[in-house]
Structure 1
């Protein structure tokens, strides 16, 4: 049995919805061959739990919340999602990260999924894909296929 591990933060519920729907899709497709361990970093922080070392490889999911700048030439500042970065940095978890999936609103132009791109540069793992808002079924299928490939299932 293979354990798929997902680490994410969700503020508006969009990313949590995507991870939940994608997990259901993968479970329906693979049945008892997989288990899913999804870690909501926002809930860890809210419950006062300590960060911990990941037990195996994982994929991160990150919405974009930025303040200021345009994402090109005059800066920006990540807001609200910083605990995910702290979790990934904790105990060198970034070494276990297979990649990151970004989400956001395409209306933000150059800032669309910018935080995922910044994490990719900061930690040295790839941006695997992206989806807008809550994501569509095609996004779930496409990203699931990439995750299946990473885990060789």
Structure 2
């Protein structure tokens, strides 16, 4: 099976740390059964030159907002704009097959708001969420979700 493609942005290192955890879990599952796909993750930053994605991919995005409450008084997305621009470039958006969000649950309704915004903007399903750096249980749960969606898209 082809590797599961993920593109992400990590401002403070939380998303990067979770992707390392998720990749390690995928490697363990692949070692137990080669039918289980590996993870291929690509980090996007302000210095990333847009590229044409050839394969479907998932997006992992943290939430960084300023202003408003995100519901009725608006908000401004900050810090993840490079990822949004990368996805919007060329013909990448149609290859986005799902969005996974992270954030801090203390922010209530703003929790994973950026991921929900990306899902809507790029017409991709919001698949899952985890808090901050995530846990081993989050990695297992999200891997299973990604694996099912990846199999359905690549069937």
- Is the shorter-chain TM-score for this pair beyond 0.5, marking a shared fold? yes
Structure 1 SS opposite 2:90: helix
Residue 114 of structure 2 corresponds to 115
Structure 2 SS opposite 1:128: strand
1:26 correspondence with 2:26: yes
Q: What TM-score, normalized to structure 1?
A: 0.92
1:2 correspondence with 2:9: no
Deviation at 1:151, TM superposition (A): 2.0
Q: What TM-score, normalized to structure 2?
A: 0.91
Q: Greater helix percent: which structure?
A: 1
Structure 1 SS opposite 2:89: helix
Contact 2:63 2:102 in 1 (8 A): yes
Residue 62 of structure 2 corresponds to 63
Residue 101 of structure 1 corresponds to 100
Deviation at 1:36, TM superposition (A): 3.1
Deviation at 1:35, TM superposition (A): 4.2
Residue 142 of structure 1 corresponds to 141
Deviations 1:16-48 (A, max 9, x none): 010111011011101355443211002xx33xx
Deviations 1:64-92 (A, max 9, x none): 00000001110100001001101111112
Question: Cα RMSD (Å) of the superposition?
Answer: 1.4
Residue 16 of structure 1 corresponds to 16
Report the number of matched residues.
149
Deviations 1:95-137 (A, max 9, x none): 1111000000011111100011111111110100000000011
For 1:39 and 1:61, the matched residues in 2 are separated by 10
For 1:120 and 1:104, the matched residues in 2 are separated by 15
Q: Note the residue ranges of structure 1 that are not aligned, 5 or more in a row.
A: none
